[in-house]
Amino acid sequence: MQESVYRVLVMSGHATVDDIARRTGIPRADSAKTLEALVAMGLATHADGTPGRFRAVPPDVALLPRIKRNTEALDLARTEAARLIETHRETVRRHDAGQLLEVITGAEALRQHLKQIQTHAREEMLWFCKAQYVAMPSGSNTEEYEALARGVRYRVLYEQAFFDDEGAVDNVATGMRAGESARAVPSLPLRLAVADRSVAIFPLVPGGPQGSPDEPTTALVRDSNLLSALVALFESYWENAVPLHLTDATGPQTLLTEEPASPRTRLSPVDSRLLSLLVAGVTDKAIASHMGLSRRTVQRRIQSLMERAGAETRMQLAWQAARREWL
């Protein structure tokens, strides 16, 4: 009723009680009460100071401040509601383990959950990538590229045996060109994916690789001490892992020298990539395939690096590379 009367006032400029009653069909007594109510609300005034004639207060003056106050109140209510919802969830989690850990059975179900957590990730994804995939073949994770494109940071740890699979090195290089940060370690204790440090997926029992008769049994765990422990495990391995440099370097490059005053003298792009793969434990065959070189050429370049570094073994070369900050 108030909205109808105010609308008539806005359209007519000013009106009496009888005008309002006639144009809206509202009884005269109700029209009079409504007009006085609008005056009390600051939406109307007495025209020219005459009690029987009313004028609408301009909508930008009368309504916009009111709308702003209502919007602010609504935003505050939403914020408070979100806090209450999260408090409720935390309370439920403390009393119901099912809210903390969800069991996932089968490769297809695992694949769908991995896609889902990446689709909803907003800040960071952490990965342990072991050899012989269970749910996602190397290079098939298109959700990673979509997440990287919208600004999600990816930190991925690969175990040495991962690079033995056909095309694995090339797939890792593709991910790094898209923005992935990758490192390598001799071995990893489990498969793991963590999204925004709020949800993680990891195996509950050892599962067979793709094609194995044993379906994988994994768990999805949310905010809890277990999740914190998994993140800490990742950070521990990441800290001690070898950074991978599989993409072409930019900027001026120089050949490796023995000048002690310049320990950070950089390698040529080819030698830098080769050494990174070597230290990561990638086989000569896989290195040759990835770099488009023959195995003999790879071995010859490795021998040259060993001679320049004064190393008698590949292990000594890796140590010298770390000491001289070639990686």
φ/ψ of residue 127, rounded to 5: -135, 140
Strand pairing report for 192-195 and 153-159: unpaired
Q: How confident is the model at residue 91 (pLDDT cuts 50, 70, 90)?
A: low
Are 207 and 216 within 8 A, CB to CB? Answer: yes
Q: In the numeric block, which tokens belong to residue 40?
A: 């009390």
Q: Token pair for residue 202?
A: 């990891």
The confidence band for 250, taking pLDDT boundaries of 50, 70 and 90, is very low
Which range, of 103-107, 130-134, 141-145, 151-155, averages the lowest pLDDT? Answer: 130-134
Cβ(124)–Cβ(155) below 8 Å: yes
Q: What pLDDT is recorded for position 255?
A: 30
Q: Which of 121-130, 170-179, 211-220, 280-289 has the lowest mean pLDDT?
A: 211-220
Identify residue 259 by its one-letter amino acid code.
E
Residue 256 identity (one-letter amino acid): L
Per-residue pLDDT tens digits for 146-174:
999 999 999 999 998 888 888 888 898 89
Is there a contact between 143 and 134 (Cβ–Cβ < 8 Å)?
no
Confidence check: pLDDT of 221 > 60? yes
Q: Rounded to 5 degrees, what angle do the CA atoms 248, 254, 257 make? A: 125
Q: Is the pLDDT of residue 262 over 50?
A: no
Lowest mean pLDDT among 116-125, 207-216, 251-260, 277-286: 251-260
Highest-pLDDT range among 22-36, 130-144, 177-191, 208-222: 177-191
Task: Give the model's pLDDT for residue 37.
Answer: 86
Which structural domains are found in the chain, ordered by start? 2-62 (1.10.10.10), 97-243 (3.30.870.10), 247-327 (1.10.10.10)
Whole-prediction pTM: 0.56
Inform me whether the pLDDT recorded for 259 exceeds 50. Answer: no
Question: In this predicted structure, what is the pLDDT of residue 229?
Answer: 92
Percentage of the chain beyond pLDDT 70 is 82
